[in-house]
Amino acid sequence: MRRLLLLVALVAGPLLYFTRRRDERRERVNLYYDDGSMVTLERGQPGSERLLELAHASLR
C-alpha cells in the first residue's frame, strides 16, 4: 500500500507541477488597436506583469 501511494505521489506530483506551470505561462494579455493589429503580452515579457495583475483584480 505504501509503495502504491509513493508511486502515485511520484507520478502525480510532477504532473500537477508542470500543468500549473504551463497554465501560468498561458496567461496573457492581448491588446487590439484601431488599425486592426494585435499585440500579445505573455507572462515574463516587459509590461505584462502589471497588466496581468490588473486583469486578476478584475476577476476578483
Partner 1 sequence: MDTASALADLSEISSQIEAAVVFDSEGGVLGSTGADEIHARRLARAALDLVAAAGQVGLGEGRRLTQIEGSLREGSVFVVTGEGRSLAATTTPDPTSGLVLYDLRTCLRSLAGEAAEHAAKPRRSRKKEPLEKEPPRKKKPPKATEPDA
In the complex, the residues that contact partner 1 under the rule CB under 8 A are 23-24, 26-35, 37, 39, 41, 47, 50-52, 54-60
CB of 17 to partner 1, least distance (A): 15
Pick 7 or 40: Cβ nearer partner 1: 40
Residue 3 or 32: which CB sits closer to partner 1?
Answer: 32
Alpha carbon 57 to its chain centroid, in Å, reads 16
Neighbours of 28 (CB within 10 A): 14
CB of 56 to partner 1, least distance (A): 6
Q: 43: burial class by Cβ within 10 Å (0-12, 13-18, 19+)?
A: middle
**Three-state secondary-structure class, residue 41:** strand
